[in-house]
C-alpha cells in the first residue's frame, strides 16, 4: 500500500526566506518530496488474489454491483497506475473507488490522502486542497500531516491566508508535532507572514534544541519582522553570551541593533573587535559602518581613523571628500591635503571636480600656498557643485580675477574628463596660453592626453573591419544593452569599438562599460580593464570616414613624440552609436 502521505520536506532556513528565495524553488522541492513518498508495496495484488489481470479488472469494474468489491477494485487499479506513473488513470480509479462508498471511513481517508498526493504530482493544487479538506471532514482523529500537506497545497496556490487557516487547527487541537514537522510549519507560517506563530514555534525549538545556532538567529529575525527591535537585540546578546556561533551577517546585525536601540558606542565596539579578530571582512563597507557608529557615538578621532580605512579600501571619492571635511573641522590641514591628493590620484567623475578643488584649495591656503589655492578656487568656479563657495573664498583672500586662460579650462591635481591634469608641485604655475596669443596657432596641434579610469567591460568579438562595424554600431549596441540588463548589469558609459594589438591580428571588441553584477554568457564576455593612459580626440557630428579620421589622429600622436601601445578605442558619444566619436589611442 502507499506510505504515509506526509512528505519529508526539507526545512527552508529562515535566513534564506529573509532573502526572498524564489517560490519556484520551493515548488520544485515539494514536487520531489511528493514523488519520493508515493510507492506501492509488493504483495498487495488484488488481481492475483481474484484470478483477474489488470486488463480484465478494468473491463469488468463497471459491471461490479457490490459496493465493497467495486471500491476495492478501484483502489487497486488506482495504486497500480500510480506505480506506472499514469496519474490521470490513477485519479479516475480513485474517484471510482470513493464514489462506490464501499469501504470504511479509515480506508476512505487513506484513499483521499493518496489522491491528494497524485493531484500534487500533477500540479493540480486546487484539487489537492479540496481533496484534503474532504479527508479532514471525516469524523476521525486528525493527523498533523494532513494539515501540513493542506497548507502546502494552499501555499502552491498562493493563498497565504488559507495556509495559516490550514495550520492553526494543529495548535487549537493540541496535536503534537515532531521537530521536523515544527520546522515545516515554521517555514509555511513565515512565508504566510504569521510571525507570531513563528515566534512560538522557534521558542519551542530552542527548548528542544538549545545548541542549534540557526534557531537563535531565526528567532531574532522573526522579532525584527514584527518590529520588536529590543527583543531581537536581547535574543542576539543572549546567544553571544552562550557562545552561539555568529557569522559575519549575524555580527553586523547585532551591531545594527545596538545602534538602533540607542547604543552606537556598543555597535562600534562590536565592529571594531570583529575587525581585529578577523571574524568580519576588512573591507570598505565594514569600515564605513564602523565610521558611522563612532561618529554617532561622538568619538570623532576614532571615526576619522575608521573613515581613512573605509576610503582607502573602497576608493570611494565620496568618502575621501567627507574625510577631508572632517579633517577641516579638526583643522588637520596637512592630513586634509594628503587626503585630497590621494582622492585625486585618478580622474574624477565631473560631478566631484568642483567640490574636490574647493577642499584642495582650502588645505593649500591654510598651509600657506596662496598661489596654488587661488588656482584651485578658480577651478572650482568653472564647473557646478561648489562654485559659489569657491567664489567666496576668492573674495576672502582678495585674489586677483582669473585670466582668460585660467577661466577657459580646469588645470588641476583634481581633474575631470575634459580637464588638464598637473602635479601638485606645478599646479600654481600651470597657465594655458591665451586664445589671442600667437602661440595659440600651435596649440590646436597639441595632442590631448588623459587617463581613462579602470572599467568593467561587457563585450563581444567580431572578425570584421572597423569600417564594417561602425555602420552596425547602433543595432549592435541596442542588442548588447538588452543582453546586459537581462544578465544583471546596467550600462555605465558609451558604446566602444576596441582594437587590441596590431590591426588585423585580433578580433575587434564591441563593449559597454558596465555597473552592477552582470553574468557572462555564450555570446557576451566580461573583463576588468585597468586605467588606460591615452591620447584622445573628440570629433563632433557625423564621421565621413572613420578610417581617415584615425589615420590623421595617429599621425599627429606619433609626430608629438608619443609611442602607441597597440590598443585603440573608438567611443561613440551618442547613445546607440549615433553622431560624435572620441578616439582614444593608448600611449606609453
DSSP 147-201: HHHHHHHHHHHT-HHHHHHHHHHHHHTT----HHHHHHHHHHHHHTT-HHHHHHH
- The CATH number that applies at residue 226 is 1.25.40.10
Question: Is 380 in the same domain as 423?
Answer: yes
Question: Is 208 in the same domain as 342?
Answer: no
562, three cell numbers: 608619443
Instruction: Count how many domains the chain has.
Output: 3
Beta-ladder partners of 451 = 533
Question: Is 30 in the same domain as 146?
Answer: yes
- Answer for the pair 442, 518: CB distance below 8 angstroms, yes or no: no
Q: Which residues contact 10 (CB under 8 A, 6 or more apart)?
A: 29, 33
Beta-ladder partners of 572 = 495, 581
- Answer for the pair 155, 163: CB distance below 8 angstroms, yes or no: yes
Indicate whether 9 belongs to any domain: no
Question: Is 436 in the same domain as 459?
Answer: no
Taking the C-alpha atoms of residue 136 and residue 273, their distance in angstroms, rounded to an integer, is 55
- Answer for the pair 422, 431: CB distance below 8 angstroms, yes or no: no
Tell me which of 166, 199, 231 is where a domain ends: 231
Indicate whether 275 belongs to any domain: yes
Indicate whether 1 belongs to any domain: no
Indicate whether 560 belongs to any domain: yes
Q: Which residues contact 2 (CB under 8 A, 6 or more apart)?
A: 38, 39, 40, 79, 82, 110, 113, 114, 117
User: 205, exposed or middle or buried, with CB in 10 Å at 0-12, 13-18, 19+?
Assistant: buried
Tell me which of 443, 465, 496 is where a domain ends: 443
Question: Is 410 in the same domain as 462?
Answer: no
> What are the C-alpha distances in Å from 383 to residues 10, 228, 408, 451?
60, 48, 11, 20
Beta-ladder partners of 516 = 489
Report, in angstroms and rounded to the nearest whole number, the Rg of the chain calculated over CA atoms: 36
Which stretch of DSSP H or E encloses residue 286? helix 284-296
Question: Is 240 in the same domain as 225?
Answer: no
Q: What is the pLDDT of residue 426?
A: 64
Question: Is 492 in the same domain as 409?
Answer: no
Question: Is 420 in the same domain as 309?
Answer: yes
Indicate whether 7 belongs to any domain: no
Beta-ladder partners of 459 = 511, 525
Taking the C-alpha atoms of residue 326 and residue 301, their distance in angstroms, rounded to an integer, is 10
385, three cell numbers: 557643485
520, three cell numbers: 557572462
Indicate whether 524 belongs to any domain: yes
Indicate whether 6 belongs to any domain: no
- DSSP string covering 450-476: EEEPPEEEEEEEE-S-HHHHHTTHHHH
Q: Which residues contact 153 (CB under 8 A, 6 or more apart)?
A: 116, 120, 125, 128, 129, 132
- Written as tens digits, the pLDDT of the chain (588 aa) is 333 322 322 223 322 222 222 222 323 333 333 333 443 333 344 443 344 678 888 888 888 889 898 888 889 999 999 988 899 989 998 998 899 888 999 998 989 989 998 998 888 999 999 999 898 888 888 888 889 989 989 999 999 999 999 999 998 988 999 999 999 999 999 999 999 999 999 999 999 988 899 999 999 999 999 999 999 999 999 999 889 999 999 999 999 999 999 999 999 999 999 999 999 999 999 999 999 999 999 998 899 899 989 988 888 899 999 999 989 988 999 989 999 998 998 899 999 999 999 999 999 999 989 999 999 999 999 987 888 999 999 999 999 998 988 888 898 999 998 888 887 766 666 555 444 443 433 433 467 888 888 889 999 998 888 877 877 888 888 888 888 888 888 888 888 999 987 766 788 999 999 988 888 888 899 999 998 898 888 877 676 677 888 888 888 888 888 889 889 999 887 643 446 788 999 998
Q: Which residues contact 13 (CB under 8 A, 6 or more apart)?
A: 214, 218
Question: Is 405 in the same domain as 488?
Answer: no
- Residues of the domain holding 291: 234-443
Taking the C-alpha atoms of residue 438 and residue 427, their distance in angstroms, rounded to an integer, is 23
Question: Is 323 in the same domain as 180?
Answer: no
- List for the chain the helix, strand, coil content (%; round to 5): 55, 10, 30
Residue indicated by cell numbers 591634469: 421
Question: Is 173 in the same domain as 284?
Answer: no
Taking the C-alpha atoms of residue 482 and residue 3, their distance in angstroms, rounded to an integer, is 50
Q: Is 532 helix (H, G, I), strand (E, B) or coil?
A: strand
> What are the C-alpha distances in Å from 545 to residues 67, 539, 550, 572?
91, 12, 9, 14
Tell me which of 231, 261, 287 is where a domain ends: 231
- Long-range CB contacts for residues 424-433, cutoff 8 Å, separation at least 24: 424/341, 424/372, 427/372, 427/375, 427/376, 428/369, 428/371, 428/372, 428/374, 428/375, 429/371, 430/375, 431/403, 431/405, 431/406, 432/405, 432/406, 432/408, 433/405
Indicate whether 4 belongs to any domain: no
Taking the C-alpha atoms of residue 494 and residue 578, their distance in angstroms, rounded to an integer, is 10
Q: What is the pLDDT of residue 384?
A: 79
pTM of whole model > 0.85? Answer: no
Question: Is 140 in the same domain as 112?
Answer: yes
Q: Is 404 helix (H, G, I), strand (E, B) or coil?
A: helix
- The CATH number that applies at residue 547 is 3.20.80.10
> What are the C-alpha distances in Å from 212 to residues 28, 209, 531?
27, 6, 49
Amino acid at each position: 500500500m502507499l506510505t504515509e502521505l506526509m512528505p519529508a520536506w526539507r526545512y527552508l532556513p529562515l535566513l534564506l526566506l529573509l532573502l526572498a528565495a524564489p517560490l519556484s524553488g520551493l515548488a520544485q522541492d515539494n514536487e520531489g518530496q511528493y514523488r519520493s513518498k508515493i510507492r506501492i508495496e509488493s504483495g498487495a495484488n488484488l488481481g492475483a488474489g481474484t484470478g483477474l489481470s489488470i486488463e480484465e479488472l478494468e473491463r469488468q469494474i463497471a459491471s461490479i454491483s457490490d459496493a465493497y468489491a467495486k471500491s476495492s477494485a478501484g483502489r487497486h487499479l488506482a495504486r497500480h497506475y500510480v506505480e506506472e506513473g499514469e496519474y490521470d488513470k490513477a485519479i479516475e480509479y480513485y474517484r471510482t473507488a470513493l464514489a462506490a462508498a464501499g469501504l470504511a471511513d479509515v480506508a476512505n481517508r487513506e484513499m483521499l490522502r493518496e489522491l491528494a498526493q497524485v493531484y500534487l504530482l500533477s500540479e493540480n493544487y486546487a484539487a489537492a486542497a479540496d481533496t484534503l479538506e474532504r479527508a479532514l471532514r471525516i469524523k476521525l482523529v486528525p493527523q498533523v500531516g494532513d494539515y501540513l500537506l493542506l497548507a502546502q497545497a494552499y501555499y502552491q496556490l498562493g493563498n497565504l491566508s488559507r495556509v495559516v487557516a490550514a495550520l492553526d487547527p494543529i495548535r487549537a487541537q493540541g496535536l503534537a508535532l515532531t521537530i521536523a514537522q515544527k520546522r515545516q510549519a515554521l517555514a509555511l507560517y513565515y512565508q504566510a507572514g504569521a510571525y507570531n506563530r513563528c515566534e512560538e514555534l522557534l521558542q519551542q525549538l530552542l527548548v528542544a534544541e538549545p545548541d542549534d545556532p540557526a534557531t537563535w538567529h531565526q528567532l531574532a529575525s522573526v522579532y525584527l519582522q514584527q518590529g520588536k527591535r529590543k527583543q531581537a537585540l536581547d535574543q542576539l546578546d543572549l546567544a553571544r553570551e552562550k557562545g552561539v556561533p555568529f557569522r559575519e551577517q549575524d555580527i553586523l546585525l547585532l551591531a545594527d541593533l545596538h545602534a538602533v536601540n540607542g547604543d552606537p558606542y556598543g555597535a562600534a565596539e562590536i565592529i571594531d573587535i570583529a575587525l581585529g579578530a578577523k571574524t568580519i571582512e576588512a573591507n570598505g563597507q565594514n569600515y564605513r559602518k564602523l565610521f558611522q557608529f563612532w561618529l554617532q557615538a561622538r568619538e570623532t578621532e576614532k571615526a576619522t581613523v575608521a573613515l581613512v580605512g573605509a576610503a582607502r579600501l573602497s576608493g570611494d571619492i565620496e568618502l575621501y571628500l567627507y574625510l577631508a571635511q572632517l579633517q577641516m573641522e579638526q583643522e588637520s590641514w596637512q592630513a586634509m591635503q594628503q587626503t585630497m591628493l590621494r582622492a585625486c590620484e585618478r580622474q574624477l567623475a565631473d560631478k566631484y571636480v568642483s567640490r574636490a578643488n574647493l577642499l584642495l584649495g582650502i588645505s593649500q591656503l591654510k598651509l600657506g600656498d596662496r598661489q596654488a589655492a587661488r588656482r584651485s578656487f578658480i577651478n572650482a568656479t568653472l564647473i557646478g557643485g561648489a562654485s559659489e563657495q569657491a567664489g567666496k573664498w576668492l573674495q576672502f583672500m582678495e585674489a586677483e580675477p582669473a585670466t582668460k586662460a585660467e577661466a577657459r579650462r580646469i588645470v588641476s591635481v583634481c581633474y575631470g574628463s575634459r580637464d588638464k591634469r598637473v602635479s601638485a608641485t606645478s599646479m600654481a604655475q600651470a597657465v594655458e596660453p591665451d586664445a589671442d596669443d600667437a602661440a595659440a596657432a600651435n596649440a590646436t596641434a597639441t595632442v590631448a592626453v588623459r587617463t581613462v579610469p579602470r572599467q568593467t567591460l561587457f563585450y563581444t568579438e567580431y572578425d570584421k573591419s572597423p569600417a564594417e562595424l561602425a555602420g552596425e554600431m547602433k543595432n549592435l549596441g541596442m542588442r548588447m544593452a538588452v543582453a546586459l540588463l537581462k544578465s544583471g548589469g546596467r550600462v555605465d558609459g558609451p558604446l566602444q569599438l576596441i582594437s587590441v594589438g596590431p590591426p588585423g591580428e585580433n578580433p575587434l571588441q564591441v563593449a559597454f562599460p558596465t555597473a552592477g553584477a552582470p553574468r557572462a554568457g555564450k555570446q557576451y564576455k566580461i573583463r576588468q580593464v585597468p586605467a588606460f593612459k591615452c591620447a584622445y580626440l573628440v570629433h563632433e557630428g557625423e564621421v565621413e570616414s572613420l578610417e581617415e579620421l584615425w589615420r590623421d589622429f595617429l599621425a599627429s600622436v606619433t609626430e608629438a613624440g608619443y609611442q602607441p601601445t597597440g590598443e585603440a578605442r573608438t567611443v561613440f558619444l551618442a547613445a546607440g552609436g549615433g553622431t560624435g566619436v572620441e578616439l582614444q589611442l593608448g600611449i606609453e
